[in-house]
Every structure is written in C-alpha cells, then in structure tokens.
Amino acid sequence: MQRRDFFTAAALGGTLAAAAQLQGTASAADNKQGLAKQRFCSQLGIIPGSNEGEKLAWMKKNGFEAVEIGRLGDNYLDWKKRADDAGLPIASLCIGSFGNQLTDEDPEKRKKGYGELKVQIERAGAVGAPVIVYVPATGKPDRPNQRIRELTVTMLKELGPFAAQHKTNIVLEPLRRNEAWFLRQVSDAAQICKDADTDGIGCLGDSFHMAPEEPDDFAAIVAGGAYLKHIHLGNRSKRQLPGLDDHSHVKLMRGLKYIGYTGFISFECGVGGSNNKEVEVPKSVEYLRKCWEEA
C-alpha cells in the first residue's frame, strides 16, 4: 500500500467510525435507498433571467423544485409572494456567520447575534423555509475549538426549540480550512447536533467544501444521517457548476440514497465553462442526474 493510500484509508476508517457512533453500525437493513429523492434547488446567481421573477420562472420551467435565498429583510413577505407566484417553495435561507457574533466571548455581542438570528428564524417560518444555513465561526483561529463548540451547542440548545416552533431548522455548514478554522467535516457537525439534543437543528454537506476535507463523500453523508437537512453543490476547484472538473459527485449521491435523503440539493456556485447560463446549468443538472443513476 502506498503511503498516501494508507493515510487515506486511515482517515476513511475514522469517518466511518464516526458515522457508526452517530447513526449505529451501518448495515444492509439501514439502506433507505427506496425513500431517497433528488430534488434540485438553487441560489439565483447562476440562473438565467434579468430579474428575480424571470429567474424563478426559468427554474420552474427547467425542473428545479425550490429556491435558496439569503437573509430576509423587512420586505420578506414580498419574497414569499414571488416564490408562490412561480410555484416554487423557499427551501432555505443562507445567512452566513453574523460576523461570528453568536460564538463571541462578549456576552453582549452574543446577545445581539441571538437577536438577529431569532429575527431570521421568525421570517423563515413566515415564508415557509425549513432550513437556515449557519456557519458558527470563520477566519483565523483565536480560541480552542472546544470553546467554540461549547458556545455553538449552547446556542443550539437555546434557539433550536425556537426554530422548531417556527417550523424551521438552524443548519450547521462545515467549510474548508482556508475559510474556517472550526467545523470542517459533516460528522463533526452531526456530533454537535447530537450533543445539543434538541429539535430545530441539523447539518449540511457542501460538495465544494467536502472535497479537500472528507476522505470519502459516502461516509461523510452517512455520518450526517438524520441530522443532514440540506446539501450545497459546487465543483472541487473553483466553486463552479458540478461536472466541469474531475470532481465526481457519485459517492455523495450514493450516500444520499443510502440515508433516504429527501431534502433539497442546492447549487451554491458560479457558472464556469462557457459562462452561458442557459447552456451550462442544464448540462450540470443532467450530469448530476447521471451521478444519481450511477449511485
């Protein structure tokens, strides 16, 4: 065995062990493939159209089943009307880290961050979005991981029930190491959810971030298991459309099938290729459908 293969196998063993600890030992009886669905969603940046209405109409016409948007302002009900008019639900709000306020050591900053997140939770509930994508900490390390973990668990314990009350979920997104020093693997996000042990929370897998951080996409998705409530898509190298480089999405799709995933699979990336959205986006969708079939 080559030295590189040895370390890859060792890392994969660790990820599978984490999956087993979180979800129980995987076996044929755990395979929920018959329940899984491939449901496409997207942020609007890659979608053809000169305005939101045109983009939503294009998505509906081209087989997308939901839209992902950012933080909601005071006009949030206007967003609901646009989505309703297009016949597309709002799948998620991608809100970032709030400047790391919710994990800040300053109690006043944490209080402010909690308040801002509660507003987004209320608005997510009002527009019917089941997922709020949240990143606990970005930038360079300034404290031990364990401290950020404690603050994240505390936040989830407090705000998870509030999210559940509004029929939505705070979903932790792991990032690759050049973007975040804390929370880089799906299994870690799932373990944090397990430690918080409350309704209204979950985790996310992002194929762009997973590429350098996860030894095996299938094992990472299985580790997320029931906590996995949303998926982001992007290729390995430049965060462009899946299918434009050698980054295969087959193992990710195989994992989603295995756990019976029925949530949304959302494009969070640039276009790339010819940069012709009308051409490249349908090509990427077709590529992902083939990955699903192969899985």
Cα-to-chain-centroid distance, residue 125:
18
Domain extents for the chain? 30-294
Residue where the block lists tokens 């087989």: 63
Q: pLDDT 10s digit of each residue in the chain, 295 long?
A: 444 444 445 445 555 555 555 544 455 546 777 899 999 999 999 999 999 999 999 999 999 999 999 999 999 999 999 999 999 999 999 999 999 999 999 999 999 999 999 999 999 999 999 999 999 999 888 899 999 999 999 999 999 999 999 999 999 999 999 999 999 999 999 999 999 999 999 999 999 999 999 999 999 999 999 999 999 999 998 999 999 999 999 999 999 999 999 999 999 999 999 999 999 999 999 999 999 999 9
The superfamily in CATH containing domain 30-294 is Divalent-metal-dependent TIM barrel enzymes (3.20.20.150)
Q: Report, in angstroms and rounded to the nearest whole number, the Rg of the chain calculated over CA atoms.
A: 19
One-letter-per-residue 3-state SS of 125-173:
HHHCCCEEEECCCCCCCCCCHHHHHHHHHHHHHHHHHHHHHCCCCEEEC
The tokens describing 67, both together, are 């839209």
pLDDT on residue 268: 98
The tokens describing 200, both together, are 């209204």
Task: Tell me which amino acid residue 117 is.
Answer: L
Identify which of 33, 31, 34, 59 has the alpha carbon closest to the alpha carbon of residue 45.
59
Do 159 and 124 contact (CB within 8 A), yes or no? no
pLDDT on residue 2: 46
pLDDT on residue 237: 86
Do 239 and 208 contact (CB within 8 A), yes or no? yes
Dist. CA 39–CA 91, nearest whole Å: 11
Measured from the Cβ of residue 7, the count of other Cβ atoms closer than 10 Å reads: 12
The pTM of this model reads: 0.90
Helical pair 186-196 and 145-165, crossing angle rounded to 10 deg: 60
Cα-to-chain-centroid distance, residue 54:
25
